[in-house]
């Protein structure tokens, strides 16, 4: 999968640049957004849209949503090169959610630089993030690869299902974040991940299936694969934050004990609350809701998680989800090389360094 990621990346970035060039001018604006009634201000749109978008994309990101889409297109017997524009849909959506989530979470950093709302004014960053929800959806109106009308409608209906659930997931996450109490169940936590992170994965898989006209059961199988993998990825993220903080994984990938400092109700926290004695559970909750933790307090919270066996629990669940994901695609008629790539991907999302 790593080679596939590297191989496709330049072509994907070129396709994104066709949609939103680094330098916008009146001709581009007229072509993409339609004739103005009066007169566009290219200079303003450059700063409000193209600059934030490319600032974020140029910082990195693996473009794995676009590449996974192309892997599916290939698996369904079509030439990925013909569907590069569609690969941009989940990729730009994802980058849009990053900008908006960072505003909502008051994040300081993103991809090794300050979060976008610290580079641009917050209003500009936010509007650019929101614009990136709608820019990619316009791709479907452009008739790339002669997509028939019923497929385009199916794609829109699918996108509306998934993008609605994305906002449910984010709603649950930030709502819990603002609550003192840890009241959520592991099943609700998994649902939050399935909505917030999983739905973008589902878009990747379902879009490839819809565009290449796969039967409903195939579409559902790849969607479940992508959702399960994304949920496993999210739990992997939660584990990584704790492990890196405990110094097990060597150098710190993030700020030390980030999730505890933010008071995130991760699967590990939910598990530890259930498994610890009432006094310890109460102490963990206290540490999470504190706005300013000392490094000692962070380590105290982390060792509560460790002692409750929450790291192992979370790893078991993530591995179980990854196995389930592999099961979803086991019976599909993919060539062995594709199946290998997709299986490898479910492992990568848990056992990664960053």
- The residue among 44 and 114 lying less far from a second copy, judged by its C-beta, is 44
d(CA 345, CA 326): 10
Q: Which of 202, 220, 298, 306 is nearest to 255 (CA)?
A: 298
Stretch that binds a second copy, among 32-40, 78-86, 250-258, 296-304 (CB under 8 A): 32-40
Query: 263: Cβ–Cβ under 8 A, 6 or more apart, which residues?
Result: 177, 288, 289, 290
Can residue 156 be called a binding residue for a second copy (CB under 8 A)? yes
Question: 20 vs 75, which CB is nearer to a second copy?
Answer: 20
Closest alpha carbon to 154 in 138, 135, 140: 140
48-77 residues near a second copy, rule: CB under 8 A: 48-49
* Residue in this structure with the two tokens 């099943």, named with its chain if needed: 187
Least distance between a second copy and beta carbon 105 (Å): 7
Contact 221, 328 (CB under 8 A): yes
Interface residues for a second copy in 266-325 (CB under 8 A)?
Answer: none
Question: Judged by CB, which is closer to a second copy: 191, or 241?
Answer: 191
Nearer to a second copy, 15 or 49 (CB): 49
Per-residue interface string for the shown chain with a second copy, residues 165-194, x marking contact by CB under 8 A: x-xx-xxx-xxxxx-----xx-xx-xxx-x
Give CA–CA dist 205/225, Å, rounded.
Answer: 8
Residues near 157 by Cβ (< 8 Å), separated by ≥ 6?
none
Distance CA 319, CA 296 (A): 31
Q: How far apart are CA 231 and CA 254, in angstroms?
A: 20
Q: Which is nearer to a second copy, 5 or 184 (CB)?
A: 184
Instruction: Select the residue interacting with a second copy from 41, 58, 286, 351 (CB under 8 A).
Output: 41
For 86, counting Cβ atoms within 10 Å of its Cβ (0-12 exposed, 13-18 middle, 19+ buried), the class is buried
Q: Which of residues 209-248 bind a second copy (CB under 8 A)?
A: 227
Region binding a second copy by CB under 8 A among candidate stretches 117-125, 269-277, 278-286, 346-354 = 117-125
DSSP structural state of residue 331? T
**Shortest separation between residue 327's beta carbon and a second copy, angstroms:** 15
Does 100 contact a second copy by CB under 8 A?
A: yes
| Total residue length of the chain | 354
8 A C-beta contact, residue 296 and residue 253: no
Q: Which residues bind a second copy (CB under 8 A)?
A: 29, 33-34, 36-41, 44-45, 47-49, 100, 103-105, 121-124, 126-128, 130-131, 133-135, 137-138, 140-141, 149-150, 152-153, 156-157, 160-161, 163-165, 167-168, 170-172, 174-178, 184-185, 187-188, 190-192, 194, 198, 227
């Amino acid at each position: 999968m790593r080679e596939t990621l590297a191989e496709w990346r330049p072509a994907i970035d070129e396709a994104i640049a066709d949609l939103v060039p680094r330098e916008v001018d009146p001709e581009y604006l007229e072509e993409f957004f339609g004739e103005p009634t009066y007169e566009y201000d290219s200079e303003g749109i450059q700063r409000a849209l193209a600059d934030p978008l490319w600032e974020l994309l140029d910082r990195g990101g693996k473009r794995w949503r676009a590449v996974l889409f192309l892997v599916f297109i290939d698996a369904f017997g079509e030439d990925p090169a013909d569907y590069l524009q569609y690969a941009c849909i989940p990729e730009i959506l994802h980058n849009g959610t990053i900008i908006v989530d960072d505003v909502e979470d008051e994040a300081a950093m993103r991809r090794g630089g300050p979060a976008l709302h610290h580079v641009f004014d917050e209003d500009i960053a936010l509007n650019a993030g929101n614009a990136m929800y709608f820019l990619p959806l316009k791709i479907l109106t452009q008739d790339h690869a002669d997509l028939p009308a019923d497929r385009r409608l199916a794609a829109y209906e699918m996108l509306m299902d998934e993008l609605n659930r994305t906002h449910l997931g984010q709603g649950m996450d930030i709502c819990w974040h603002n609550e003192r109490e840890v009241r959520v169940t592991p099943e609700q936590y998994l649902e939050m991940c399935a909505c917030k992170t999983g739905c973008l994965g589902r878009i990747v898989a379902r879009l490839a299936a819809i565009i290449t006209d796969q039967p409903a059961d195939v579409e559902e199988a790849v969607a479940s694969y992508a959702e399960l993998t994304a949920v496993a990825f999210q739990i992997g993220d939660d584990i990584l934050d704790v492990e890196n903080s405990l110094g097990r994984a060597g150098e710190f990938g993030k700020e030390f004990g980030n999730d505890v400092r933010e008071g995130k109700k991760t699967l590990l926290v939910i598990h530890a609350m259930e498994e610890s004695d009432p006094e310890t559970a109460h102490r963990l909750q206290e540490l999470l809701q504190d706005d300013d933790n000392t490094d000692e307090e962070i380590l105290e919270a982390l060792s509560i998680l460790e002692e409750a066996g929450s790291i192992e629990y979370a790893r078991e669940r993530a591995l179980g989800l990854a196995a389930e994901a592999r099961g979803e695609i086991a019976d599909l008629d993919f060539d062995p090389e594709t199946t290998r790539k997709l299986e490898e991907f479910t492992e990568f999302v848990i056992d990664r360094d960053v």
